[in-house]
Structure 1
Amino acid sequence: MQSAAKLRNKNFTINLPVEIKNNKYVLSNVRLNGSKKVYRFLLDTGAQSSCISKEIYDELGLITYFSDSITDGISKMNVCFSFMDVSFNDLHFDKVGVSILSKSSLNPNGDCSNIDGIIGYNLIRSCIWSFDSEGVVITDKLNSLKNIGRKQKEKISKGDSPSFVGGFVDGFRSTMLFDLGDNGTFEVKNNYLKYLRTKSIRRGDGSLYTTVIGDIQDTTACKVVYIPGFRFDSDTLRNVISYVAPDIGNTNIVSIGAGILNYFKLTFDFPKRQLYVQNKAQYFNMSKFFNFGFEYKIAKKKMFIRFVWHDTDAKRAGLMPGQQILRINSIDFSEVNNLETCELKQIIEGELSKDQIELEIQGEGNIVILSKISLEKNMF
C-alpha cells in the first residue's frame, strides 16, 4: 500500500502555487481521476498514505479495496483504502493509494484550511521536492534547482516516512521524522530529555496536540524546553524551543514540523534518498511563546479552554481545560453564534492579538483579566 505512486511525467521543474498559512502548505488545484473539478489538499510528508474525504469518495463512486490502519505519528485509526489518479500543475500520478476520512476529521477543531484531502508520502516520494517558507518546487532533475545548499552525509532513511539524521548542541544526533503536516518546529520524545542539556520553561495541563484522529490527552507531554541549538552536519540554529512529545506512536526520537522551513531550505531527492540543506537563520524565533498562557478550541461554535501553562496568570486565575469562555473582551459568544466557525475563529484571533484580554468564564463569578507574557522569560 505504501509503495510510491507512479509518476507519468519526465523532464519537469515546476514552482507549485501553494497556499502557506500558519506553516501549513495547501495545494488548491488538485484533480482526481481526470475530473474537471479542483480540490484542496494538504501537503503532508508525515502521512504514510494520501487521504481523501468520504464526501469525495461518494461523489466519485470509488471502490474500497481493503481496510488497514493509518498513523499520524502518535495514534492509529482503522480506515478503508482505495486507489485513484491524482494530478496538479500538469503533473500526473497513477494508482495513488488513498485512505478515506471524514471532512471533519481532515479539518479538526475549527481548522479553517478547508482541505478535501492529504497528499501523503506515498505520492511525494516519487520525485524531488524543494521546500522553504516561501514556496515549493517539484522536479525530476536535481541540477535544475539552484541554491539548494549542502548535501548531507547521511541518506534519507528507507520506510514510509521521510527521516534524516540531525543533532542538538550539547545533546545527541538521531534519526528525525520530517512531518510537513505538523505546523510546529521541534518535538523531542520525553524519554530522551535526559540526553539534552536543557532548561524547562513551562509545563501545562490539557490537550496540546490535535491530529486528524483527535486530541492527544497525555499530559506528561505538555511542556516546552530550551535546547542550546539544533544542527544538521554543520548548519546550526541557536536557542531552540522544543515541545516535548509523548513516548508513544512512531519510533522517531524527534519530530520536525513545517516550522523548520522558517530557518532552513530543505531539498529532498527522494528517489536517491538524499537531503540538501541551506541555512536561512541563526536564531530561533521566540514570538510564538509570547501569549496569554492558555490555548483554546472551538466546538459547536463555542470557545473552550483546551490547555493552560503552569506558572502563568492564566493558571493562577484558576483557568482549567474544558471551561467554556462566554465572553472575550466585548465579544459575547451568545450574540455571534450565527457566524461560521472560521469567521468566529478570525474574531477570536483578533482579540488574542491584543496585549490584554478580559474573559468571562462559565460558572465563575469573577472576570479574568490577562496580559501577555513571555513563556521563555528568564530562560537565558
Structure 2
Amino acid sequence: MSVEDGFKDLYGYAPEGVWAAPGRVNLIGEYTDFNDGFVMPLALPHTAVAAVSRRTDGQVRVHSADTGQGVVQLGVDTLEPLADTGWAAYPAGVVWALRAAGHPVTGADIHLASTVPTGAGLSSSAALEVVTALALNDLYGLGLTAPELAVLAQRAENAFVGVPCGVMDQMASACCTEGHALYLDTRDLAVRQVPFDLAAEGLTLLVVDTRVKHALGDGAYAERRAGCEAGARALGVRTLREVEYVQLSDALRRLGDETVRSYVRHVVSDNHRVQRTIALLDAGDVRAVGPVLSEGHASLRDDLAVSCPELDLVVAAATAAGALGARMTGGGFGGSAIVLAEAADADTVTKAVGEAFAAAGYTAPRVFPAVPSAGARRVA
C-alpha cells in the first residue's frame, strides 16, 4: 500500500502532499560534527516517506506503517521535551522545534513509512525528522531553507528526543544531491557538492549492515562528546576544530588524561582525513581514498573505541578479499561499515564477508551498494 493510500485509510481523506527524505552513509569524518569539524556524507536511496496534511485544532496525529502501533495523538501546546513518546518523538519534536522558533504550526496529520534500516547507523531518525520538517515547511509556507530545516531537525533530536547528535545526519538528509557526496563544514554549515560517480570509475561503495547493536553504545556517544569538550577546554579552544593537524603532537603533549588525549587524536586526525579525501577526489584519484577509510577505522577502533568485533571483522575480511579500504560508519558499537572496492570484486568481497560472519557464528550481514542519491524533496 502506498503512503498516500495508507493516509486515506487512517484519516479518511487524502493528504495535501507526500514528501521523502533519505538516510545517509558517511564516507569519512566520524564524531567530528559536534566538534565543528568536517564530514562527508552521501544520501542513500532508502527514504522515509510522509503523507501530511495541516490541522487547525492544535492536534498532531502521527502514524508509522513500520511500527505496528496505532495513531499517536498529541497536542501542540502540550508537547514536552524528553517525554516518553517512543518513535513519535522524532516527528513530534520537529513540531515542537518549529513552534519554539516562532513558526505558526497549528497541527498536522502525518502518516510515515520508511525503507531506511533502523539500528544500522544510517540515520533513520534524521530521515523522519527532515521529512516532517520539509512537509510542514511547505504546507505552512514557512520559507525555511534546507540547512535551516536541518538545524531545526537537529534541535528536535537534541532537545526533544534527548540525543546529543551533531548536525551531519540532518544536513545530509536535507541537502545531499544525486551523484554527489556532501562536503560539509559543520562550523558554518558551508556545503560543497562533490561529484562521486563511482560506477564511472569502475568502483563501488558497499554498505555492510552487521545487524547488531551492542548495549555498550547506550550513553557512549554522550560520553565521547563530553570527552571531546573536555579536551577543547584543556587546550583553551572553543572546539577541537580549532586544533590544526600540524599542531596535533603539541596538543597531545598538553593533555594529561589518556582517554581525552585519544579522543582528541581521533577528531583532529579525522578532520585531516576528510580534507585528504577531498583532495584525492578533486585530483581524480578515487582509489587512493580506500587506505584513508581504513586509517579512519583504525582510529575509531583504537582511539575512540567505538567499534566492535563485527565491524572489525567486516573491515578485515573485506580488505583481505581485495577491497581498497573499509571502515565502520556512524556511531559504532554495531550498525554498518562501508567498503570501497572495484566493482568487479563486489561479489567476491560480499561473499568473503558473509563467510567470515558465518565462521564467527554471527548473523548474516545485509550488504548493498551505496548509490549517492537525492536529498529531501516533495514527491506528490
Scaled by the length of structure 2, the TM-score of the pair is 0.28
Higher strand share: 1
Larger RCO: 1 or 2 (CA < 8 Å, sep 6+): 2
Higher helix share: 2
Scaled by the length of structure 1, the TM-score of the pair is 0.28
